Chains A and B, each alone.
Chain A
Amino acid sequence: MRIEVNLPSLGDDDDAVTKGVVAFWLQKAGAALKAGDDLLELTTDKAAFVVPSPESGTLMEYRVSEGDEVTVGDVLCVLEVG
């Protein structure tokens, strides 16, 4: 089964952080991932963050590129799981 991996929301508070810029991918397409493995590094104005994979599976496709601005809810990549 293929699943889309979204950038998780940090909360509904109107002043929560909602976006960042993709600094670089930490995994290549085809990589076998365990849940919690770092997928990519994202920078906000305040700090750098690593976004973990929500599930174990195979990274099939990037949906965002290095340098792209992404907002919470955006699809980052597609995983083949199960």
Chain B
Amino acid sequence: MALNQFPTWIRRPWPSGKAFREVKDLLNGMDLHTVCQSAHCPNQSECWSRRTATFMVLGNTCTRHCTYCAVNSGKPMAPDPDEPEKVAEAVRRLGLRHAVLTSVTRDDLPDGGAGHIAATIRAIKRLSPGTTQEVLVQDFVGDVPAIELIVAAKPEIFSHNIETVRRIFPKLRDRRFSYDLSLEVLRIARARIGRGFVKSSFMLGCGETEADIQETLHDLLVAGCDAVSMGQYLQPTPKHQDVEAFIPPEIFTRYESMARDMGFSFAVAGPFVRSSYRSEALLQSEFGRERLQTSGAEQHAD
């Protein structure tokens, strides 16, 4: 392991302290996976110290292999049928007012694991009725019934990450993903989620240009995204995709403004922004609060 050089703004606290240990002990004791650990996330200290975490369901082995991702790929084990209840119990014990769920991609399951994810969303709603949720999902190979299963469980935020710009997409993503299919997934969700939110995120520092970024922001808007987030790609190990550039914080700020000016109702960008980082900010924004109130009234009328 070599001593790496990072710019001064790529510096985070090493996770420690009482709140962090409590979250760690609770999650490890329940045999749950988090993307915080699996993706070697540099925000783990901040998020866990705030007693929040992003749950990764359907195991910690992915059937696809993307060049930037630290999550193991291979042949996954059968899903744990008790996992939806366990995640819901962890959300309850942590007292989360907003929960973020994601999963590995499961091409080995007939519904891609959509039923399991939907069951987890419903279990959280049952045990923590006031808790809002973001669910970050794979593309389900564009399978409309699978996406409908997710939307029908009524997460407040449906997320599917485009991950990178069109030009670089084939270099970074597993060949089973496609840029246009990801846009289609977002369109399918937008058409069915009513006044729920549709969000997508992508990484910068992989060799993209400003024109590439503008194109992707435009494509996401046209697909119906309300919200977008952009963050710095960081290489989890030397075997993964190289970082092409460390983007300074002020440039991220400019991209965030650009996204808002283009028409996103909510945009956030910064070196440590991740799709799940401070996910609740979307619902707490003026735009988010107004729309939640309206959608609450709609759901009540159902």
Contacts and interface: CB of A to CB of B under 8 A. Distances in A.
Interface of A: 7-17, 19-21, 23, 41-52, 54, 67, 69
B12 A45 contact: no
Contacts of A21: 1-4
B145 to A, nearest CB: 32
Q: At the interface, is chain B mostly helix, strand, loop or mixed?
A: loop
Nearest to B10: A47
B236 interface: yes
Contact of B6 (A8, A13, A43, A51): A43
Contacts of B142: none
A49 B12 contact: yes
Given A21-B3, A45-B237, A15 B60 contact: yes
A11 B21 CA distance: 9
Given A13-B37, A16-B37, A47-B42, A8 B12 contact: no
A52 B14 contact: yes
Contacts of A45: 1, 4, 40, 235-238
Contact of A13 (B10, B12, B21, B33): B33
Given A10-B37, A49-B13, 6 more contacts: A10-B44, A11-B28, A14-B60, A16-B40, A20-B1, A50-B12
Interface residues of B, number: 35
Given A41-B11, A42-B14, A45-B235, A17 B40 contact: yes
Contacts of A20: 1
B37 A11 contact: yes
Contacts of A12: 24, 28
Contacts of B28: 11-13
